[in-house]
Amino acid sequence: MTVLERLRPDHAPALLDFERRNRAYFAASIPDRGDDYFTRFDERHAELLAEQAAGVHHFHVLTDTGGAVLGRFNLVGVEGGSAELGYRMAESAAGRGLATSGVRQVCALAFEEYGLTVLRAETTVDNAGSRAVLARTGFVEADAITLVGRPGLRFTRDLADAGR
């Protein structure tokens, strides 16, 4: 059983553990956060919570029954009824449908709780798993882009349709 929760102060230890355990796994497909991220984690966590309280972003964690973080699902740059979706899953959670489930849940929250009508997402062309999650959750390819120096794709999702 998993639970998608809005990011809170008490998630910090489990979130830091998630980021540390999966650092090499994430760095294989996206730029590494760098050592400073881990050194300043508590400070950055507080900054994220303040930005969330201001309505600039909406951060979520997917946890297991023991409270371990299995994934992050973030809506950033909230403005004019839209935001950008970003997510990452623990290596141990990959391939279990949890990313698809989490994205579906965040899309529903975005529309029903946060009043958003459009989401955007980006991924590299070679990230087949992320492209599949986006396709399964109603995102459509919008543009070819360059993402961190690599070929990428931008996707959009109209949240007003029935398939949230």
Tokens of 52: 């969330």
Please report the domains of the chain, with CATH numbers, ordered by start residue: 2-158 (3.40.630.30)
pLDDT digits (tens, 9 = 90+) for 8-56: 999 999 999 999 999 999 988 777 899 999 999 999 999 999 999 999 9
What is the β-pairing status of strands 118-124 and 82-89? parallel
Average pLDDT over every residue of 64-68:
95
CA-atom Rg of the chain in angstroms: 15
CA distance 90 to 72: 9
pLDDT digits (tens, 9 = 90+) for 136-164: 999 999 999 998 888 999 999 999 875 55
Tokens of 36: 């400073």
Contacts of 148 (CB under 8 A, 6+ apart): 30, 31, 124
CA distance 128 to 5: 26
| pTM summary value | 0.93
